[in-house]
Amino acid sequence: MDAVLEVGLDYAIFNFSGFLGPHDQFFMQVFPKLIDPNTKRVLGRARHLSNLRIRSAEELFEREGEPFKELFSDTGRDLVAKGLKDLGLVPESRPSAEMPAAGARP
């Protein structure tokens, strides 16, 4: 079956003054949706989010934004992978006993 995968992504960086004192947080959510291109019917959807406490928003943008790029890509990759599993688009992980050793060829 042919289908279209639409992925929505939203992120924000917040500063909170809460019970544990002031701190910054990185919030990201991903909304994958599978659509039948012929009927436009939604075949499935998922939503995953992450809310991470970070040292400071300013530190994320040091070194030409490398810490931000790493946090954004790592968090986004994990959330998209969870959404794809929810939609049945990727197989479940094999048990670790079946995983090839690092550097081994399949």
In a domain, 12, yes or no: yes
pLDDT tens readout for residues 64-74? 889 889 989 99
Token pair in block for residue 12? 């924000």
In a domain, 105, yes or no: no
**Domain limits for position 33:** 4-89
Residue 34: band (very low, low, confident or very high) from pLDDT cuts 50, 70, 90: very high
Q: Give 82's contacts (C-beta < 8 A, 6+ positions apart).
A: 30, 46, 48
Domain tally, the chain: 1
Q: For 60, phi and psi rounded to 5 degrees?
A: -65, -25
Q: What is the pLDDT of residue 79?
A: 94
In a domain, 106, yes or no: no
How far apart are alpha carbons 91 and 36 in whole angstroms? 21
Indicate if the pLDDT at residue 14 is higher than 70: yes
Token pair in block for residue 34? 């599978």
Indicate if the pLDDT at residue 98 is higher than 60: no
**For range 54-71, the mean pLDDT:** 86
Residue 57: band (very low, low, confident or very high) from pLDDT cuts 50, 70, 90: confident
Helical (H) or strand (E) element with 76: helix 66-86
In a domain, 70, yes or no: yes
| Residue tagged 């995953």 (tokens) | 48
